[in-house]
């Protein structure tokens, strides 16, 4: 889930708009925790899955050779 879909409990506005101090603080915290040096968390998980798939293929290729 991205911050675009989050709704602030304080002002009932989208957190991404930063209408109130609570929204702005949440948006800043999520930006800081947002992933690996600015990379979205989804992209990190995709990279991990691709590396695992490559490792599995190499392992299977090694066993059959």
pLDDT value at 28 more than 70: yes
pLDDT value at 1 more than 50: no
Domain residues of the chain, as ranges? Answer: 3-64
Q: How confident is the model at residue 62 (pLDDT cuts 50, 70, 90)?
A: very high
Residue 3 C-alpha from the chain's centroid: 10
Q: Tell me what pLDDT residue 17 has.
A: 85
Residues, the chain: 65
- The C-alpha atoms of residue 44 and residue 32 are separated, in whole angstroms, by 15
pLDDT value at 47 more than 80: yes
What percent of the chain is predicted at pLDDT more than 70? Answer: 85
Name the burial class of residue 15, with classes exposed (0-12), middle (13-18) and buried (19+) by CB atoms within 10 angstroms of its CB. Answer: buried
């Amino acid at each position: 889930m991205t911050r675009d879909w989050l709704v602030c409990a304080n002002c009932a506005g989208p957190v991404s708009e930063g209408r109130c101090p609570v929204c702005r603080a949440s948006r800043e915290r999520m930006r800081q925790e947002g992933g690996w040096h600015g990379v979205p968390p989804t992209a990190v998980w995709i990279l991990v899955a691709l590396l695992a798939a490559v490792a599995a293929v190499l392992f299977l290729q090694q066993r059959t050779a």
